[in-house]
Amino acid sequence: MKNKSGTLPVFLLAVLSGVLLSGCGWRADMAKRQDPQKLRIVTTVFPPYDFARQIGGDAAETVLLLKPGMESHSYEPTPADIVTIMNSDIFLYAGGESDVWVEELLKGTGGGVESHALLDWVDPLEEETVAGMQVKGHDHGQEEGTEAHAVHLEGKEYDEHVWTSPQNAMVIVEKLCGVMCQKDRKHAELFAQNAAAYTKKLTELDAAFREVTRQENPKPLVFGDRFPLLYFVRTYGLEYYAAFPGCSMETEPSAAMVAFLTDEVKKEGIPVVFYLEMSNGKVAEAIAEAAGARTAVFYSGHSITAKDLEAGEDYLSLMYRNVETLREFYAKEG
């Protein structure tokens, strides 16, 4: 959440200074622990929140900063959010472009918060731009609004959506378990048992994706939306086309981009154009209508709706929705 000078807005710096100078009293008023004896993990986005609660169970307290249904890429922390972060035992964040504000905040704490970026725990993939993708507002040396066939980066920029690969999710769970066990040795054995049980479920999810994507010359996936699934397609050897990069804030499609993706859908005989959860799906609908295809939701897991959270949905259940969506996609393809 940088302003033009590259620093946190003044009011947030003031809040941060007040927190640092006032001790625990105001922090407790703003962000009280439900149980002071429990390990407290605060996360920016849903996947690490879910991983932490699976590992911690009743022995840990997990806090999700982004409200259900909130757009994570445009999220800006409130003063209360900052206090919540500073009142945590472990703070987890993705570590990509949408978390620039985190780096500024952590500098201001003087290392007083144990924090971990998920990007540091896996082998990161550089952002990429594929043929037809609209990169306006996400410029890397091209004219705004042009469609790119290659990406040219002055410095490396990494895709932050690491959890979209179940293999990465397993690595994150292992790393997080280690951090939690170090922080709360009393419950280390419980955390390790929970992590092992959850990793088994992630292994089964990975196997389900491998089974359903094991196709001979599979057609590419087409997303009339952002594409935060680079780790997913790389894990399972899939090709794709998409309207916008994973962290793009663009919503208005160019005619050239829609025409390109429509032509690909027609040429490849692709039956489904995908869009992300909590997207309005309008770009995907326009492409599908022009190409004689249908649309379907594909879950990135970056956030979750209030309805799904209240219904007990979690990372695994959302990913299994993708398994079934792909099963139907490849059945129609065949």
Q: Give yes or no: residues 153 and 26 share one domain.
A: no
Q: Give yes or no: residues 268 and 165 share one domain.
A: no
Which of these, 231, 237, 242, lies nearest to 300 by C-alpha position? 231
Query: Does any domain span residue 3?
Result: no
pLDDT tens readout for residues 217-255: 889 999 999 999 999 999 999 999 999 877 766 667 889
Query: Does any domain span residue 210?
Result: no
Report pLDDT for 133.
87
For all residues of the chain together, what is the average pLDDT?
84
Average pLDDT of the segment spanning 183-187: 97
Q: Give yes or no: residues 140 and 167 share one domain.
A: no
Q: Give yes or no: residues 192 and 274 share one domain.
A: no
Query: Which DSSP string corresponds to 281-303?
Result: -HHHHHHHHHHT-EEEEE---SS
Length of the chain (residues): 334
Query: Tokens 């407290």 — which residue?
Result: 40
Query: Does any domain span residue 5?
Result: no
The pair phi, psi for residue 308, each rounded to 5°, is -65, -40
Query: Does any domain span residue 144?
Result: yes
pTM: 0.85
- Please tell me the total count of domains within the chain: 2
Q: Give yes or no: residues 324 and 227 share one domain.
A: yes
Query: Does any domain span residue 47?
Result: yes
Encoded tokens for 155: 């410095």
> Do the beta carbons of residue 261 and residue 270 sit within 8 Å?
no
CATH of the domain at 324: 3.40.50.1980
The yes-or-no verdict on residue 33 having pLDDT over 60 is: yes
Q: Give yes or no: residues 41 and 170 share one domain.
A: yes
Q: Which of 142, 171, 205 is the last residue of a domain?
A: 205
The yes-or-no verdict on residue 142 having pLDDT over 60 is: no
Q: Which of 143, 174, 205 is the last residue of a domain?
A: 205
> Do the beta carbons of residue 55 and residue 177 sit within 8 Å?
yes
> Do the beta carbons of residue 62 and residue 53 sit within 8 Å?
yes
**H/E element, 115:** strand 115-117
CB burial readout 115-145, b (16+ within 10 A) else e: bbbbbebbebbebbbbebbbbbebebebeee
Query: Does any domain span residue 185?
Result: yes
Q: Give yes or no: residues 193 and 230 share one domain.
A: no
Report pLDDT for 11.
43
User: Residue 324: helix, strand or coil by DSSP?
Assistant: helix
Residue 229: domain span: 133-157+215-333
Q: Give yes or no: residues 153 and 163 share one domain.
A: no
Query: Does any domain span residue 314?
Result: yes
Q: Give yes or no: residues 151 and 243 share one domain.
A: yes
The pair phi, psi for residue 110, each rounded to 5°, is 65, 30
Query: Which DSSP string corresponds to 19-55?
Result: HHHHTTHHHHHHS--S-TTSEEEEESSHHHHHHHHHH
Q: Give yes or no: residues 224 and 297 share one domain.
A: yes
> Do the beta carbons of residue 142 and residue 135 sit within 8 Å?
yes
Q: Give yes or no: residues 111 and 49 share one domain.
A: yes
Query: Does any domain span residue 73?
Result: yes
Q: Give yes or no: residues 148 and 17 share one domain.
A: no
Least confident of 9-13, 41-45, 92-96, 131-135: 9-13
Least confident of 20-34, 188-202, 209-223, 309-323: 20-34
> Do the beta carbons of residue 147 and residue 133 sit within 8 Å?
yes
Least confident of 23-27, 170-174, 239-243, 244-248: 23-27
